[in-house]
C-alpha cells in the first residue's frame, strides 16, 4: 500500500466514524397518529394508535378492513413542517396506489414505503378487499434515509378508494438531528 492510499484509508475511516457518530445521535419520535374522515361503507378501522414501548421508542399501528373491492386507489400525501402552525413543506404528491403496489414509483414515496413495509401486510395488488395492517412500526433516527432538518412534522395522507375519500391518516413526528 503506498503512502497516498494509507492517508486516503485513514481519511475514509475518520469520515465514516464521524458519519456514524452523527447519525446515531439523531432522534425520531412519533408524536401523534390520527385517522379521520373515515367512510365506514368502505373501511372499518379497528386500530389507529401510537404506543410508547420504551423510553424514546413509540410504535405506530393501524388495523383496518377494506369492505368493498378496490380497483382504483388514489393517494394524496403531503408533508407539513411546524413553524407557527404546520406549513406545507417539500412534498405534495398524488400518486396511483394500485400502480405503486404493482411496482413502486416516486422516489420519496418508495423511501417511506420501504421503512414501513416490513411491519405491514401490504404485499397485495388491486383489485383488493380485506385487511390492511401496519403493526408496531417504529424507526430510529439512523434509518432516516435523507437529510432532514430538526423539527416537528406532519405527513397527511388521503386515501381515495374508487375515487371516494375513504380515510385520512395524519402522522405526526419529531426529528432532532445531530444531538451531541
Contact set with ligand NAG (CB under 6 A): 76, 78, 88, 92, 94, 123-124
Half-sphere exposure of 141 (CA within 13 A, CB side): 21
- Choice between 1 and 107, CB closer to ligand NAG: 107
Least CB distance to ligand NAG at residue 143 (A): 22
Least CB distance to ligand NAG at residue 128 (A): 10
Cβ(98)–Cβ(73) under 8 Å?
Answer: yes
Nearest one of 79, 119, 122 to 100, comparing CA atoms: 122
79 torsion bin: left (phi>0), alpha (psi -120 to 50), beta (else): beta
Cell of 25: 445521535
- Choice between 86 and 124, CB closer to ligand NAG: 124
Least CB distance to ligand NAG at residue 16 (A): 35
- Choice between 91 and 175, CB closer to ligand NAG: 91
What's the rounded Cα separation, in Å, for the pair 156 and 149? 18
- Choice between 21 and 130, CB closer to ligand NAG: 130
Least CB distance to ligand NAG at residue 111 (A): 19
What are the backbone angles phi and psi of residue 112, rounded to the nearest 5°?
A: -70, -45
What's the rounded Cα separation, in Å, for the pair 22 and 55? 20
- Choice between 21 and 136, CB closer to ligand NAG: 136
Least CB distance to ligand NAG at residue 48 (A): 22
Amino acid at each position: 500500500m503506498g503512502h497516498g492510499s494509507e492517508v486516503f484509508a485513514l481519511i475514509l475511516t475518520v469520515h465514516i466514524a464521524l458519519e456514524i457518530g452523527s447519525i446515531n445521535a439523531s432522534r425520531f419520535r412519533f408524536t401523534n397518529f390520527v385517522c379521520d374522515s373515515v367512510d365506514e361503507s368502505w373501511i372499518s378501522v379497528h386500530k389507529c394508535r401510537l404506543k410508547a414501548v420504551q423510553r424514546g421508542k413509540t410504535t405506530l399501528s393501524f388495523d383496518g378492513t377494506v369492505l368493498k373491492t378496490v380497483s382504483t386507489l388514489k393517494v394524496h400525501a403531503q408533508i407539513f413542517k411546524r413553524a407557527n402552525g404546520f406549513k406545507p413543506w417539500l412534498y405534495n404528491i398524488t400518486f396511483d396506489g394500485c400502480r405503486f403496489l404493482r411496482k413502486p414509483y416516486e422516489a420519496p414515496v418508495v423511501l417511506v414505503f420501504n421503512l414501513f413495509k416490513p411491519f405491514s401486510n401490504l404485499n397485495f395488488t388491486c383489485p383488493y378487499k380485506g385487511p390492511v395492517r401496519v403493526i408496531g412500526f417504529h424507526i430510529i433516527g439512523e434509518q432516516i434515509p435523507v437529510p432532514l432538518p430538526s423539527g416537528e412534522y406532519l405527513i397527511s395522507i388521503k386515501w381515495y378508494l374508487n375515487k371516494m375519500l375513504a380515510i385520512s391518516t395524519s402522522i405526526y413526528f419529531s426529528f432532532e438531528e445531530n444531538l451531541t
